[in-house]
């Protein structure tokens, strides 16, 4: 049974009193979250297939261990996290001058093996109506070519109403962000490659410093390997699973309702709402909605190539070249990285054994070797498409010599069939 997971992040609508302490861009606000309008949250997963009304029942986190774990991301695989969509509540506090809101989406990413932890504005949209989804789909906000399951990624998403923002510098920065669109989130993976990041960071700094802006959503989630969730038996540890997942929020007014979480919940796929039952039938849960997708595919240019490209570009444009021999070495290094990426991409796109043969020869060439990290990355790629976990740099050449004549690609996906893994019997992929 194919499991689709959906994530509904709900929070915030801070009190509108003039003497309320609004969030600011200070150290305190990096670590402290003002109590939101929806302070109590639960994680739910989609149970079964979507029905003819495009509605799916939600499975609560106490039963998450019953979900199929065969497709869970595992250590060493690529990992991507995508913001699928963001919707505003059906009922929002209206201003005296407008029924709409100007919305800025602020993102923080913290991952142990990437070192990123910066607030940036990844989306800005004016005139958003109650219940409307923001005009984007599938912003890539996190990517690792090789996921380390000991470094669970932490994502903090903030959605802020900046309609009352009157600071000229802030509005100019936000206008610049709107020109970049979804590429701001993508640029976060390789900040040196885009001028959008400094602007996005400045915009976040300016709007977070304005006490008159209103925080609609502020939620942090950390993803743990599924085996952690199963082994410790803790239902509230968010397990990393492929697909979409949701978190449902309970408002302050419902805190005393002991039956709130015992009622059934349904995800409305077409409208992006959570439906819940009452005495008169199903009603829409009034909450901000953020849908998050977990993906195991490689979606962007690997950092092992992009980072080197950014470094060389900086040297050239800023005239920082002092050691020409070192620069020549760096250029050769970049050339080998690019060559490996090209052959890897040919294998991925065209899926023929001739390209695979050239790629393996490049990896196994000891006369003009690839950089060590490129070799390691390439062997991991080959391990994934052949399902040979025992494959390594030491046995790559003999393994391919033995399997070259019998290997073939699957017609429907990037899989190599009819090969014998090192130390294992022949396997049909």
Both tokens of residue 193? 């490659």
pLDDT tens figures, 124-150: 999 998 888 889 888 887 777 777 888
Asked if 181 and 139 sit in the same domain, the reply is yes
Nearest CA among 152, 132, 312, 138 for reference residue 222: 152
DSSP characters over 314-375: HHHHTT----HHHHHHHHHHHHHHHHHHHHHHHHHHH--HHHHHHHHHHHH-SSSPPPHHHH
Picking from 295, 327, 353, the residue at the C-terminal end of a domain is: 295
The residue among 295, 327, 361 that closes a domain is: 295
Cα 18 to Cα 128: distance, rounded to the nearest angstrom: 23
Do 358 and 276 share a domain, yes or no? no
As a 3-state breakdown, the chain gives helix, strand, coil percent values, each rounded to 5, of 30, 25, 45
- In this prediction, residue 213 carries a pLDDT of 81
Give yes or no: residues 130 and 241 share one domain.
yes
Whether 389 and 255 share a structural domain = no
Pair 62, 205 in one domain:
yes
Return the ∠ at Cα 393 (arms to 387 and 397), rounded to 5°. 85
3 belongs to a structural domain? no
Q: What is the number of structural domains in the chain? A: 2
Query: Does residue 9 form part of some domain?
Result: no
Q: Is residue 175 part of a domain?
A: yes
Q: Per the domain annotation, does 109 fall within a domain?
A: yes
Do residues 279 and 364 share a domain?
A: no
Same domain, residue pair 93 and 210: yes
The answer to whether the beta carbons of residues 266 and 275 sit under 8 Å apart is yes
Q: Under a CB-based contact definition with an 8 Å cutoff, are residues 103 and 216 in contact?
A: yes
Choose one of 295, 315, 332: the last residue of a domain: 295
Which of the 8 DSSP states describes residue 391? -
Return mean pLDDT, the chain.
Answer: 76
- pLDDT tens per residue across span 18-46: 334 444 434 334 445 555 666 776 777 77
Residues 134, 262 within the same domain = yes
Per-residue model confidence (pLDDT) at position 189: 64
Domain that holds residue 358: 303-427
- Residues 128, 252, single domain; the answer is yes
Rg (CA), the chain: 24
Do 337 and 245 lie in one domain? The reply is: no
| Residue 310 within any structural domain of the chain | yes
**What's the pLDDT at 112?**
54
| pLDDT the model gives residue 1 | 39
Q: Is residue 325 part of a domain?
A: yes
Residues 233 and 347 in one domain: no
Do residues 242 and 347 both lie within one domain? no
User: Three-state SS for 262?
Assistant: helix
Residue 21 is assigned to a structural domain of this protein: no
Stretches in the chain below the pLDDT threshold 70: 1-38, 41, 61-68, 92-97, 111-117, 186, 188-194, 227-237, 278-280, 298-323, 424-429
In a domain, 2, yes or no: no
Model pTM? 0.69
Asked if residues 92 and 217 have their Cβ atoms less than 8 Å apart, the reply is: no
CA–CA distance, 226 with 238 (Å, rounded to integer): 8
């Amino acid at each position: 049974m194919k499991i689709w997971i959906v994530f509904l992040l709900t929070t915030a609508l801070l009190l509108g009193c003039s003497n309320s302490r609004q969030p600011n861009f200070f150290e305190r606000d990096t670590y402290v979250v003002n109590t939101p309008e929806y302070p109590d949250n639960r994680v739910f997963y989609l149970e079964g297939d979507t029905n003819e009304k495009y509605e799916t029942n939600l499975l609560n986190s106490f039963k998450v261990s019953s979900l199929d774990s065969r497709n869970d991301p595992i250590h060493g695989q690529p990992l991507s996290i995508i913001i699928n969509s963001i919707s505003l509540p059906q009922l929002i506090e209206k201003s005296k001058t407008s029924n709409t809101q100007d919305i800025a989406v602020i993102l923080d990413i913290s991952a142990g093996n990437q070192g990123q932890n910066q607030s940036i504005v990844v989306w800005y949209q004016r005139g958003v109506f109650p219940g409307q989804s923001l005009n984007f789909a599938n912003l890539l906000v996190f990517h690792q070519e090789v996921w380390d399951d000991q470094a669970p990624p932490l994502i903090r998403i903030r959605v802020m109403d900046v309609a009352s923002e009157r600071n000229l510098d802030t509005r100019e920065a936000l206008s610049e962000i709107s020109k970049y669109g979804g590429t701001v989130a993508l640029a976060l993976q390789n900040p040196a490659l885009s001028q959008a990041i400094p602007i996005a960071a400045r915009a976040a700094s300016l709007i977070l410093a304005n006490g008159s802006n209103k925080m609609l959503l502020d939620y942090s989630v950390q993803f743990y390997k599924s085996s952690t969730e199963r082994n410790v038996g803790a239902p509230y540890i968010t397990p990393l699973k492929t697909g979409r997942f949701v978190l449902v929020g309970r408002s302050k007014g419902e805190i005393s309702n002991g039956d709130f979480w015992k009622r059934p919940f349904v995800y409305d796929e077409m409208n992006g709402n959570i439906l819940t039952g009452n005495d008169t039938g199903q009603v829409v849960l009034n909450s901000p909605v953020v849908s998050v997708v977990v993906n195991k595919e490689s979606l962007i240019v690997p950092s092992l190539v992009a980072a080197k490209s950014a470094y060389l570009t900086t040297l050239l444009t800023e005239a920082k070249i002092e050691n020409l021999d070192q620069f020549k070495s760096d250029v050769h290094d970049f050339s080998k990285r690019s060559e490996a990426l090209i052959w890897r991409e040919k294998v991925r796109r065209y899926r023929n054994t001739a390209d695979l043969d050239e790629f393996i020869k490049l990896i196994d060439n000891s006369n003009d070797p690839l950089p060590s990290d490129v070799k390691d990355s390439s062997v991991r790629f080959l391990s994934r498409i052949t399902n040979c976990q025992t494959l390594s740099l030491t046995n790559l050449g003999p393994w391919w010599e033995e399997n070259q004549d019998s290997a073939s690609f699957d017609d429907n996906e990037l899989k190599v069939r009819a090969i014998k893994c090192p130390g294992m019997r022949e396997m049909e992929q």
